[in-house]
């Protein structure tokens, strides 16, 4: 085998390895299966919030990444904030809940009255 042919073979193998490593997901990326699982969990949490008494699915946002559910948005009372977290924790597939929901405050600085 000639030197040129050997060199081309080695370079080709290196390029293939480089291309494959670029396709591999890092720890910050979800695989296709994880992405589908996250989307399913998000849907289940949104549905559970919509069915829960006293919660509005239109004021609570849900995002999921590798089993961790992040809640955000605004509610009227601290009890609603806590209830949304409890509902999310009760959904199958949820490993952790990050509750970033904020309680609305009135112009006087107190939580808005329920109702």
CATH code of residue 49: 3.30.1340.30
Classify residue 87: in a domain, yes or no. Answer: yes
Contacts of 66 (CB under 8 A, 6+ apart): 30, 34, 38, 95
pTM of the model: 0.67
Greater confidence (41 vs 107) lies with 41
Domain range enclosing 40: 28-103
Classify residue 10: in a domain, yes or no. Answer: no
Classify residue 67: in a domain, yes or no. Answer: yes
Dist CA 17 CA 19 (whole Å): 5
Classify residue 89: in a domain, yes or no. Answer: yes
106 pLDDT more than 70? yes
CA geometry: angle at 69 spanning 68 and 72, to 5°? 140
Total tally of structural domains belonging to the chain: 1
Each residue of 27-80: pLDDT tens digit? Answer: 567 787 777 889 999 999 999 999 999 999 999 999 999 999 999 999 999 999
Classify residue 21: in a domain, yes or no. Answer: no
């Amino acid at each position: 085998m000639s030197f040129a042919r050997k060199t081309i073979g080695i370079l080709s193998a290196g390029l293939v390895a480089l291309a494959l490593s670029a396709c591999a997901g890092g720890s910050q990326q979800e695989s296709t299966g994880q992405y589908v699982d996250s989307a399913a969990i998000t849907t289940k949490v949104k549905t559970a919030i919509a069915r829960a008494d006293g919660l509005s699915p239109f004021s609570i946002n849900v995002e999921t990444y590798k089993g961790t559910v992040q809640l955000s948005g605004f509610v009227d009372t601290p009890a609603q904030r806590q209830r949304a977290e409890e509902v999310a924790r009760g959904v199958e597939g949820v490993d952790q809940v990050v509750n970033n929901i904020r309680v609305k405050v009135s112009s006087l600085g107190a939580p808005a009255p329920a109702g």
